[in-house]
Protein backbone atom coordinates (compact mmCIF):
# COMPACT_ATOMS: atom_id res chain seq x y z
CA UNK A 1 0.00 0.00 0.00
CA UNK A 2 2.91 2.34 0.67
CA UNK A 3 4.16 1.82 -2.88
CA UNK A 4 0.73 2.78 -4.22
CA UNK A 5 0.68 6.01 -2.20
CA UNK A 6 4.24 6.90 -3.22
CA UNK A 7 3.44 6.48 -6.90
CA UNK A 8 0.23 8.51 -6.55
CA UNK A 9 2.20 11.35 -4.94
CA UNK A 10 4.76 11.14 -7.76
CA UNK A 11 1.99 11.35 -10.36
CA UNK A 12 0.46 14.39 -8.64
CA UNK A 13 3.82 16.17 -8.47
CA UNK A 14 4.54 15.48 -12.14
CA UNK A 15 1.07 16.67 -13.06
CA UNK A 16 1.42 19.92 -11.13
CA UNK A 17 4.86 20.66 -12.57
CA UNK A 18 3.63 19.86 -16.07
CA UNK A 19 0.58 22.09 -15.71
CA UNK A 20 2.34 25.06 -14.11
CA UNK A 21 5.57 25.33 -16.09
CA UNK A 22 5.01 26.34 -19.70
CA UNK A 23 6.48 23.91 -22.20
CA UNK A 24 6.45 20.92 -19.88
CA UNK A 25 3.04 19.58 -20.83
CA UNK A 26 4.63 16.18 -21.41
CA UNK A 27 5.18 15.91 -17.64
CA UNK A 28 1.45 16.30 -17.13
CA UNK A 29 0.83 13.50 -19.61
CA UNK A 30 3.44 11.29 -17.91
CA UNK A 31 1.84 12.01 -14.53
CA UNK A 32 -1.58 10.94 -15.81
CA UNK A 33 -0.14 7.77 -17.34
CA UNK A 34 1.70 6.90 -14.11
CA UNK A 35 -1.52 7.42 -12.15
CA UNK A 36 -3.52 5.15 -14.49
CA UNK A 37 -0.85 2.43 -14.34
CA UNK A 38 -0.90 2.68 -10.56
CA UNK A 39 -4.67 2.21 -10.49
CA UNK A 40 -4.34 -0.91 -12.65
CA UNK A 41 -1.64 -2.19 -10.29
CA UNK A 42 -3.88 -1.62 -7.27
CA UNK A 43 -6.78 -3.39 -8.96
CA UNK A 44 -4.69 -6.48 -9.74
CA UNK A 45 -3.38 -6.56 -6.15
CA UNK A 46 -6.91 -6.40 -4.76
CA UNK A 47 -8.08 -9.20 -7.05
CA UNK A 48 -5.19 -11.47 -6.10
CA UNK A 49 -5.85 -10.89 -2.39
CA UNK A 50 -9.50 -11.75 -2.83
CA UNK A 51 -8.65 -14.99 -4.58
CA UNK A 52 -6.20 -15.99 -1.86
CA UNK A 53 -8.70 -15.32 0.89
CA UNK A 54 -11.32 -17.50 -0.77
CA UNK A 55 -9.10 -20.59 -0.63
Output the CA torsion sign for 30, 34, 35, 37: positive
pLDDT of 53 over the 70 cut? no
Model's pTM, two decimal places?
Answer: 0.69
User: Cα(17)–Cα(35) distance, rounded to whole angstroms?
Assistant: 15
Grouping H, G, I as helix, E, B as strand and the rest as coil, residue 15 is: helix
pLDDT in tens, 19-29: 888 788 888 88
Mean pLDDT of 41-53: 77
Confidence at residue 51, expressed as pLDDT on a 0 to 100 scale: 64
Return the domain boundaries, the chain.
2-54
pLDDT at 10 > cutoff 80:
yes
Instruction: Give first-to-last CA distance, the chain, whole Å.
Output: 23
**Residue 18 near residue 27 (C-beta atoms within 8 A):** yes
Distance CA 20, CA 10 (A): 15
Amino acid sequence: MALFLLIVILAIVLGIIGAVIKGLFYLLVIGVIVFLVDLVYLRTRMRSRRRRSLR
